[in-house]
Amino acid sequence: MYITAKTLENRIISPGFGRFLLSAPQIAEQAGPGQFVMMKFWQGTVPFLMRPFSLNTVDPAAGTLSILYKIVGTGTQILADLPAGSEVEVLGPLGTGFPLSEKMQRIAVIGRGVGAAPMRLLAERARHFGIDVHAYISADQDAHLFDKDAYLEAGCAFTGCTDPDVNVTSFFADDLTRMKFDAAYVCGSRRLMRDVSALMDQYGFEGYVSLEAHMACGIGACKGCTVPVRTADGTEAYARVCKDGPVFPVKRIV
């Protein structure tokens, strides 16, 4: 759906990073973990295209969406300067999100930096179903483990890593020797996806990855965000990150 929403809060949480709260009841009611929205929060045609943002948290009762963002260019700089009360054009919820079953007993969520933003909503929904959640999040510094307190408040086991010489997936690998996981979800790094894929071969759990891509439309029409994937018969084809994803089974990604 395409709506005009209201900015409730927008603040810088660390140099170069912000958190944005939006009132969008229609979208909040339908949005699931791993989905995203396209947003326009400026007047005129510069920038020309709407910008995609993953959903960090969703509160259906309050009708709000929370976006975690990094200031990287003109669009996100405009967002960082946007005051509360501003109107924002929003298209969403978009894409295929993370599959989550109430039958699952234990899952892992794995990500890095601001790229791990979608994992918080996934963890919170899983905890709502009574699923044991272990979060493994890496960043370049402690201040960039943005959702650490939220994971702990939700009752998740949290492992944060800021050592550049240590892969956060090594902590997941250690836990796999002691406990069974039904699924692992990864976002924020292709390297993390490759590590999880190797652990899947060894331990036999399900694995899903949320991919990032430059998007022009967000609905699959322009085909500008395609990635190579494996089909059921083992051949290669192309899938649209915005429409067919952004979440894919790990083993589908070439």
- Mean pLDDT for the stretch of residues 2-17: 96
| Residues 43 and 144 placed together within one structural domain of the fold | no
pLDDT in tens, 110-157: 999 999 999 999 999 999 999 999 999 999 999 999 999 999 999 999
| Residues 6 and 88 placed together within one structural domain of the fold | yes
pLDDT in tens, 63-118: 999 999 999 998 999 999 999 999 999 999 999 999 999 899 999 999 999 999 99
C-alpha neighbours within 13 Å on the C-beta side of residue 234: 0
Cβ atoms of residues 250 and 110 within 8 Å? no
| Residues 105 and 186 placed together within one structural domain of the fold | yes
Residue range(s) defining the domain that contains residue 66: 2-94
| Residues 180 and 235 placed together within one structural domain of the fold | no
Domain-ending residue, one of 94, 115, 137: 94
Cβ atoms of residues 127 and 155 within 8 Å? yes
| Residues 86 and 40 placed together within one structural domain of the fold | yes
- Mean pLDDT for the stretch of residues 193-209: 97
| 3-state DSSP assignment of residue 192 | helix
| Residues 147 and 203 placed together within one structural domain of the fold | yes
CATH code of residue 232: 2.10.240.10
Q: How far apart are CA 101 and CA 125, in angstroms?
A: 10
Q: What integer pLDDT is reported at residue 174 of this predicted model?
A: 98
Total number of domains in the chain: 3
CATH code of residue 158: 3.40.50.80
DSSP class of 96:
B
| Residues 251 and 179 placed together within one structural domain of the fold | no
| Residues 117 and 132 placed together within one structural domain of the fold | yes
**What mean pLDDT value characterizes the chain?**
95
CATH code of residue 52: 2.40.30.10
| Residues 184 and 109 placed together within one structural domain of the fold | yes
Q: How far apart are CA 176 and CA 149, in angstroms?
A: 24
Q: Which of 108-117, 214-223, 238-247 has the lowest mean pLDDT?
A: 214-223
| Residues 157 and 194 placed together within one structural domain of the fold | yes
Angle at 185 between CA 182 and CA 187, to 5 degrees: 170
Domain-ending residue, one of 77, 94, 111: 94
C-alpha 24: how far from its chain's center? 18
| Residues 193 and 224 placed together within one structural domain of the fold | no
Q: What integer pLDDT is reported at residue 233 of this predicted model?
A: 87
Q: What integer pLDDT is reported at residue 44 of this predicted model?
A: 83
Q: CA of 141: how far to CAs of 20, 112, 113, 163, 224, in Å?
A: 21, 11, 9, 8, 33
| Residues 88 and 159 placed together within one structural domain of the fold | no
